[in-house]
Every structure is written in structure tokens, then in C-alpha cells.
Amino acid sequence: MQQTLKDLERAYKNFFAKRADFPRFKKKGRSDSFCFPQGFKLDQANGRLFLPKLGWLRYHNSRDVLGTVKNITVSLSGGKWYASIQTGREVEQPIPQGGEVGIDMGVARFATLSDGTYYAPLNSFQPNEPALRRAQRSMGRKVKFSNNWKKAKARVQRIHSRIGNARRDFLHKTTTTISKNHAMVCIEDLQVRNMSKSAAGTVEQPGKNVRAKSGLNKSILDQGWSEFRRQLDYKLEGNGGWLVAMPPQYTSQTCPCCGHILSENHQTQAQFLCVKCGFKDNADVVGATNILRAGHARLTGDHKMATNTVGHTEINTCGDTSSGCALGPGTHRSDLVAAQCCV
């Protein structure tokens, strides 16, 4: 009840500050969770926790809990109960490790780094699509809100939970590897909603290649690019690094050797061949290289290298010491970074 009143107070403040709509009652079956701000106990050695009114409960300890426990949130997802433990502790100012890298996102290759490294896509939805189709078809034949309908709905939820868990596991492993080995990461500021719009059109103006575009949209949404960027942002911030989002226009059509921009340079999905100088390379690597150069040029440009102050030593993204303005860790969009640097 205490946490519920806190949430209600925050909701009203957001409403009167015009940051959110008027508070609504929580709908049953959506975001089923409750939080304990006090009265709990944690016994990590024996893998159990004490919750008021529930007593001691066994739990699977996924990792060690560090710091002072502030609250515990219990939630229901996919027919399983989860306990999220929020803690507070002091950490030293991290020093970024590694250099800088650009990342080109795609479907054939999930992420291609400017150094040539790439991560193959997981595509967690594809292997589960037949089972999901059968489960949804079975659910559609049941009488809504009947017991059999609820059982069929639970089967659909379990499949969706399996797909989401596999995708999140893949994204966490990928973003952790990238954030630990690089101090600055430049990525494309992709507008996924626009990229995955339907091509069906209208009755007066029907679309073209609707089936092909539908399959492409399904593959785009299966990658989880927005979640990849979110995880990369906070993990780089935790390691003292930076995430720079750059506009994706012409990154796959620009020659990194001579700077010639032409759509014919990007001949196939995987092949880049400059029609002016003859430079040849993988198209995704070329895109990642151009993204890195654009991010580096925006950070430097006619200004000095933005730096991260660590103690009394200022370390730039290349690892060299220099003088300049302090640039805090985290995401910096392209239209804001230049204004944060000093001459």
C-alpha cells in the first residue's frame, strides 16, 4: 500500500506537470506486479527471501546482490514469478577502456563494427513462429474468457515469453561485450517505426511488393534495435564511455576512400564498390566506418576533442590526454554534441 500511494502521487504530479495523462486504475492481467519498500529480508546464502504477508520464499539466485537492498518488486510474466531487487551502493568513477568504434545495424548482419567484427542475428521469432501460429489459431476457436480460452491464452503467453527471453539474452551478451571493449560507440539514429511501416497502401493507391515488405518488417522488428541501443547506452555510461547517435542518411552510399556519394556505389546488400575510385569492401563495414567518421567529426569538427574528466587527468575518446571541456557519459545525439564542446 505504501508503494501504491507513492506511485499514485508520482502519477498525479506527472499529470499536473503535463508530462502524462490522467492516472488510470491498473488493468487486470497487464503489468501484474507489486513492490515492497520495507519489511523484507534477504538470505542469499540459502537462496531465499522474506516478504511481508508471504513469509520466506525460495528463489533462484541469478547473480550476487551487491549493496544495500532498497526495495523488492515481485512481478508475474509468462506464468512465472520474478523478484527484482533494487540496491544502492557507491562506486568509483569508471575509466573507459578501449578505443572508438562505429556500428552498422542490419538484418542479414545484426551489428557490424567498423573494425570488421560482426554479430550474426539471432532471429528468435522465426523458429517459434509455427508454434505461435498454431497456439493463436487454437485460442481463436475458444469461447472468450472460458477456462479453455484462458489455457490457450497461457500457451500463447509462454511462447511470447520464450521469444522475448531469448532476444534479451542475446542483446545483453552483445551489448556487454561491446561496452566493455570500447570507450566511444557511434550508432545510427534509426527510426524503427518509420522503417517498419506497412506498404499495403489504400484502395485507391495500393502498395507494391506488400508481401516482401511485410516479411522485411517482421525481420526488422525481430532484431530489437531499440532495446540494443537502450542497453548499450546505460552500460557504456556505467563503464565511463559514450554512445553517439548519428543520422543514417548516405552512410551506405558514401565511399570511405574518396568521399564520393552515389546510390550505385552500394550495388548489392553485402557489396560496396565505388564507381569513382574503385574502392571495394563489405557494405556493412563501409557503413560502420562512415558512421564512426561522422560521429568523430561531429565530436571534434572545428572544436577540441571532448573529454571525460577522471580525477585530475582528462582522457579523450582515443585514450590520449588533452585539455578540453568535460563531456559526461551516456547518449549524446548529433544535434546536441557540438553545442556541448568548447573551442
Q: How far apart are CA 233 and CA 229, in angstroms?
A: 6
Phi, psi of 160 (to 5 degrees): -60, -40
Query: Rounded to 5 degrees, what angle do the CA atoms 182, 183, 184 make?
Result: 95
- The grid coordinates listed for 61 are 539466485
Taking a C-beta distance cutoff of 8 angstroms, is the pair 156, 129 a contact? Answer: no
- Tell me if residue 188 is catalytic: yes
Q: Which of 100, 233, 284, 314 is catalytic?
A: 284
- Per-residue exposure over 168-204, b if at least 16 CB sit within 10 Å of its own CB, e if not: eebbeebbeebbebbbbbbbbbbeeeeeeeeeeeeee
Q: How far apart are CA 93 and CA 11, in angstroms?
A: 33
Q: How far apart are CA 154 and CA 267, in angstroms?
A: 47
Q: How far apart are CA 100 and CA 115, in angstroms?
A: 10
Q: Which of 100, 188, 233, 314 is catalytic?
A: 188
DSSP state of 93: P
Helix, strand, or coil here: 248? coil
Given the DSSP bridges, would you call strands 68-77 and 33-36 parallel, antiparallel or unpaired? antiparallel
H or E segment and range at residue 60:
none
Q: Which of 100, 104, 233, 314 is catalytic?
A: 104
Chain-centroid distance of CA 122 in Å reads: 15
- The grid coordinates listed for 92 are 568509483
- Tell me if residue 104 is catalytic: yes
Neighbour-count burial of 232, counting CB atoms closer than 10 A to its CB (0-12 exposed, 13-18 middle, 19+ buried):
buried
Give the length of the chain. Answer: 343
Q: Which residues are catalytic?
A: 104, 188, 284
